[in-house]
Amino acid sequence: MRALVSILFGVSSLGLAQGAVIDVKVNGALPTIQQGIDAAGPGDTVRVFSGVYGGSVFIPSGKTGLKLIGVGNVVIDARATDGSPVGRGLVVTADSCLIRKITVRHAVTLSQFDAGYGVVASGDGIVLDRVVARRCDAAGIAIFGTGVIAKNCSVFDSELGIRVSGAQATIEKCRVERCVTRGIEVDANGALLRKNVVRGTSTSDGIFVDGDGYVVESNDVRRTGGHAISLRGTDLFVRKNRCVGPIAKTGIVWEGDSATIENNVVTDATGIGIDVLLIGTATVANNKVERVGKWGIRVGEEDIALVDVRSNVVRDAATYGLYLSMDFGDVEGNDVRNCGTASTDAGIRVTLGGTITDNLVRGGGGDGFRISADGVVLSNNRAIDNTVDGFDIEPTADEVVLDGNVAMKNLGEGIEINGTDAIVKNNVSSKNRIDFATTALLQSFTANTYGTGGPLVPPQID
């Protein structure tokens, strides 16, 4: 029977390893894609030549390893010949299939149980290569199988771009534009999202991931109606992403346990640049945040075992450059400039303990450093040209250590200490309105250097 199919419909043998090749043409012996699939067996190749093919296409589970390859401009239009909707465009339930160079359009939601997905990949190990979905009622591409790869795919003008519910998915070099809700939505573990482009989600996030053990890397997200990148989960890596506004909410927001967030760029977000809300450990390093409507980088709200916040650059945040409200490991080497627009703002704000080392805060609209937690150690930091104080140690911050810091040209106090039992040594305070001021007993005050304009001797030493 298989030989008869080959003779009648132009099937050419490529050998047992590659299977047969079955050609589909609009005016050929097999004029519909579904006829070509029905004629194919596991591992065969169905070549579809240029044309618009109406209706839905289904690759059932018995067609393992089937390849559906477009030659030229191949379009599956999920409508009947009279233009009425038929539902989904292409549904693949077979494992290990390859879908290449196929466009699907006009998928329609028929009921709450039959969402209008353009392409559905529910088998395991499916590869989608250069697949395009347009004007779909639900997700342009929906992935439910395990280990599915979507590369160089595109979704335009749909409700949602790419939806992933299957574990270990790879979404790489895909493009999503002008979708209503999310650009890429992942609700599964072990995903890799790399080098994707998302543009113009009108009501929600550019990229949303809820799962564990995933990587979000080198994506370019712009013009979102929600967060640019919104993340939940444990053991994740978020690096080298670029989030460019206008962003309606936060650039990158993460809630979970254990993450590395590094080498990302966020500009022109209405909310926070990078917002880390977690229990556990995190590294936030080498990120650049510019022109955001609230904090540049915030880490806080839950109990953290250890956080490394280092070598970040923050420019023109409307309130705080860095807002750190947790127990920290190290806050080191950050460069914060032109942040804050009111006297209540600060370049770096710390409300719980930690070690603050080698940071620069310059040109802020409020304080340079504001500390309200006990036992914080500040060493070798610089506060220059800020509108209020260089270093403001609040009454709630006792036993703070200031060692080797520099405060210059601040319009308020260079170093103001209101907490008790501070250790103050090796600091330089010069050309501020007042170089040193304190209302509390100090534990020690040694080897500090003053300029002019302030009291030369602080109050009592305890």
CA neighbor of 405 nearest in space, from 418, 420, 421, 393:
393
Top-confidence residue, 282 or 424: 424
Q: What pLDDT does residue 12 have? A: 43
Distance CA 38, CA 59 (A): 8
Q: Under a CB-based contact definition with an 8 Å cutoff, are residues 299 and 274 in contact?
A: no
Q: What pLDDT does residue 459 have? A: 53
pLDDT at 9 over 60: no
Q: Under a CB-based contact definition with an 8 Å cutoff, are residues 151 and 129 in contact?
A: yes
Mark residue 441 as left, alpha or beta (left: phi above 0; alpha: psi -120 to 50; beta: remaining).
Answer: beta
Percent of the chain at pLDDT exceeding 90: 81
Look up tokens 């779909």; give the residue: 136
Distance CA 241, CA 339 (A): 23
Q: How confident is the model at residue 7 (pLDDT cuts 50, 70, 90)?
A: very low
Mark residue 157 as left, alpha or beta (left: phi above 0; alpha: psi -120 to 50; beta: remaining).
Answer: left
State the average pLDDT for the chain.
91
Backbone angles phi, psi at 3, to 5 degrees: -65, -40
Q: What pLDDT does residue 109 have? A: 87
For 184-234, the pLDDT digits (tens) are: 999 999 999 999 999 999 899 999 999 999 999 999 999 999 999 999 999
CA neighbor of 152 nearest in space, from 221, 105, 99:
99
Lowest pLDDT segment from 59-63, 274-278, 311-315, 409-413: 274-278
pLDDT at 453 over 70: no
Top-confidence residue, 18 or 132: 132
Report which secondary-structure segment, H or E, holds 33.
helix 33-39
Domains and CATH numbers, the chain: 1-180 (2.160.20.10)
For 326-360, the pLDDT digits (tens) are: 666 789 999 999 999 999 999 999 987 789 999 99
pLDDT at 398 over 90: yes
Q: Which residues are CB-contacts of 156 (< 8 A; sequence separation ≥ 6)? A: 132, 133, 134, 135, 140, 176, 177, 178, 179
Q: How confident is the model at residue 154 (pLDDT cuts 50, 70, 90)?
A: very high
Distance CA 338, CA 361 (A): 8
Distance CA 214, CA 442 (A): 48
CA neighbor of 206 nearest in space, from 166, 170, 174:
174
Encode burial over 33-55: b for 16+ CB neighbours within 10 A, e otherwise. bbbbbebbeebbbbbbeebebbb
For 289-312, the pLDDT digits (tens) are: 999 999 999 987 655 557 889 999
